[in-house]
Structure 1
Amino acid sequence: MHEIHAREVLKELRLIGAGRVLIQSPEGLRREAEALGGFLEENGIEVMLHGEVNYGACDPADREAKSLGCDALIHLGHSYMKLHLEVPTIFVPAFAEVEVVPALEKNLEEIKKLGKRIALVTTAQHIHQLEKARVFLENNGFEVLIGRGDSRVSWPGQVLGCNFSSARVGGEGVLFIGAGYFHPLGVAIATKKPTLAVNPYSGDATWMKGEAERLIRKRWAQIAKAMDAESFGVVTSTKKGQLRLSEARRIVRLLREHGKRAELLVMNHISYPALEGFSFDAYVVVACPRVPIDDYENWRKPVLTPREAEILLGLREDYEFDEILGVERTEDEPLGVALHGYRNSL
């Protein structure tokens, strides 16, 4: 279950003067979206529920909200991301109702293997308990480092699937709190430090070294498959938080400079079946880094990230995870935004 602060959302909508709203949610929060919609309708606001798949804060449905005549978009389940949006948007994180300290206590001996000075990171679902985790760890003799991160993340210590800037804060190792492998894998590859993932739901702890090595071997295999490719489709997304047009143009230029045929392709939802009609030998996805990594088995042709394309062309040697970075925060910049919602006004 996830904690949604419906009354705070209603308060923000009344500040905007919104009478009609679109609620966008990831698949795992459909029930919460329904409940929030019911609460808002009881309070006199017309609600529409967005039924498309949502990939994160980088994928807001503001265009759809505007075309439907909505006064605001409620983006459920993800933290604020600074984007130019077409309607006022309230980002409403969904905080997991699970305590993290018991899992840390259970795995304390494993955590000690990271060293005394450790970086602590998590996802938006558990960010509200990061302070509890820090206090527990410090009471057990650790020096805990929580990075500020860059402008793409909302809170200190938060990592995204495309941004691990808050993990680059020093220390002997990195402790990740959360479920799933993709975030801690990215942390391990980005920081090149021992990384331990503690799952607060199961109580399990997993070292990422072996997982990272397996992933990197698979990615080198994709690079090897693309070695003989003479033509490349360089794909970027029109999703507002994934549109990396200048980076895509840079990759097209590099490929052409190395004697390859390269064309820029633009689409919203990137999937191989939609590209079957093209004749390219391989693809470079310059959008969400998860597309070529999570979905590569569904691509009949090799699919690379921008950094992997640079390896292919002999421009870099070491494997690095593709990230979408923001600008570095200044020392006097606020470290985060409101925990229970954030209104992005036009």
Structure 2
Amino acid sequence: MHEIHAREVLEKLKLMGAGRVLIQSPEGLRREAEVLGNFLEDNGIEVILHGEVNYGACDPADREAKSLGCDALIHLGHSYMKLHLEVPTIFVPAFADVEVVPALEKNLKEIKKLGKKIALVTTAQHIHQLEKAREFLENNGFEVLIGRGDSRVSWPGQVLGCNFSAARVNAEGVLFIGAGYFHPLGVAVATRKPTLAINPYSGDAIWMNDEAERLIRKRWAQIAKAMDARSFGVVTSTKKGQLRLAEAKRIVRLLREHGKEAKLLLMNHISYPQLEGFSFDAYVVVACPRVPIDDYENWRKPVLTPREVEMLLGLREEYEFDEILGVERSEDEPMGISIHGG
């Protein structure tokens, strides 16, 4: 279960004078969206539920909210991301109702293998438990570093699937708290440091570095498959947090300068079946960095990231994870803003 602060959302909507809202949620939070919608309707606000797949804070449904005449968008399950939105938007994180310290206590011997000086990171679902985790680890002799991250993340210690700036601190290893492989695998590839993922639900601990090396070998294989490609489709996204038009144009220029044919393509949801009709030999995805990484097996033709194009062209030797980075924060810049747009 996830904790949603419904009354706080209602208070913000009333301050905004909102009479109609669109609630957008990822698939795992559909029930929470229904509960929140019922609560708001009981308090006099008209609610429309958004049923499309949602990929994160980078994929807000503000255009849809505006077209429906909504006064606000409620973006459920993700933290604030600085974007130019068309309606006022409330980002409502969903905090997981699970304690993280018992899983840390269970795996203390494994954590010690990271070294004495460790970076501590997690996702928005467990960010409210990060200080408890730090206190436990420091009481057990660790020096714990929680990176501030750049402007794309809301809280110190938070990582996204496309941004690991909070993990880039001067530590011996990285401890990730959360479920699944998606985020810790990115941490391990991006930092190239020993990375241990601890699942607070199951209590399991998994070392990610072998998985990271396997992933990097697979990516080099994709680069090798693209060596003979003469024409490239360079794909960017209309999703506001993934629209990297300047970077996409740079990749088109770079390919052309090296004797390749390149065309810029624009999509919303990027998937290979929608591209089958084109004749390109290979593709470059300049949108969510995880599309070519996590979905490459669904592509019949080679699919690369911008960094991998540079490797293909001999401009970069070491493998580097593609990320969407923000700007560095000043020390006094506020974090965790929850309403934006309009």
The DSSP-based 3-state class of the residue aligned with 1:125 is helix
Name 1:344's counterpart in structure 2: 340
- Whether the 8 Å contact between 2:84 and 2:341 is mirrored in structure 1 is no
- For 1:56, the equivalent position in structure 2 comes to 56
Once residues 46 and 192 of structure 2 are traced to their aligned partners in structure 1, the CA distance between those partners, rounded to angstroms, is 49
Dislocated runs of 4+, deviation >2 Å: none
Counterpart of 1:127 in structure 2 is 127
1:158-197 correspondence runs (5 A): 158-197=158-197
Displacement of 1:265 in angstroms is: 0.2
Query: Which runs of structure 2 are paired with 1:62-81 in the superposition (5 Å)?
Result: 62-81=62-81
Corresponding residue number in structure 1 for 2:98: 98
Deviation at 1:13, TM superposition (A): 0.3
Counterpart Cα distance in 1 of 2:253 and 2:341: 37
Please say if residues 178 and 200 of structure 2, whose CA atoms lie closer than 8 Å, have aligned partners that are also in contact: yes
- Preserved CA contact (<8 Å) 2:22 2:47: yes
CA RMSD, aligned part only? 0.7
Counterpart in the other structure of 2:82: 82
Alignment-derived partner of residue 325 in structure 1? 325
Structure 1: distance between partners of 2:331 and 2:107: 34
- Determine the structure 2 residue equivalent to 1:292: 292
Task: Check the 8 A contact 2:86/2:341 in 1, yes or no.
Answer: no
- Alpha-carbon deviations, 1:127-180, whole Å to 9, x = none? 000000000000000010000000000000000000000001111110000011
Shift of 1:345: 3.7
Q: Which one is further off, 175-184 or 227-236?
A: 175-184
1:3 maps to a residue whose letter is E
Separation of aligned partners in 2, 1:293 and 1:112: 30
The normalised TM-score by structure 2 is: 0.99
Secondary structure at the counterpart of residue 234 of structure 1: strand
Aligned equivalents of 1:189, 1:70: Cα separation in 2: 41
SS in 2 for 1:37: helix
TM-aligned CA deviation for residue 92 of structure 1: 0.1
Tell me the SS of whatever aligns to 1:129. helix
Question: Residue type matched to 2:28 in 1?
Answer: G
Note the residue ranges of structure 2 that are not aligned, 5 or more in a row.
Answer: none
Count of aligned pairs between the two proteins: 342
Q: Which residue is equivalent to 1:201? A: 201
Post-superposition Cα deviations, 1:296-320, rounded to whole Å, max 9, x if no partner, equal 1111100001101110010101101
* 1:44-95, Cα deviation, whole Å (9 max, x unpaired): 0000000000000000000000000000000000000000000000000000
* Partner Cα separation in structure 2 for residue 29 and residue 126 of structure 1: 15
- Map Cα deviations across residues 277-331 of structure 1 (whole Å, 9 max, x no partner): 1000000000001111111111110000110111001010110110000000112
Q: Deviations over 1:170-216 (max 9, x none)?
A: 11110000011121111111111111000111111011110001101
In 2, distance between residues paired with 1:7 and 1:345? 21
Q: Percent identity?
A: 88
CA distance in 2, matches of 1:221, 1:11: 53
TM alignment of 1:18-57, pairs within 5 A: 18-57=18-57
Q: SS of the residue aligned with 2:323?
A: coil
Which AA in structure 2 matches 1:236? T
- Unmatched 5+ residue regions in structure 1? none
Provide the secondary structure at the position in 1 that maps to 2:60: coil
Instruction: Give, as a single letter, the amino acid of the residue that structure 1 aligns with 2:304.
Output: L
Amino acid at match of 1:337: G
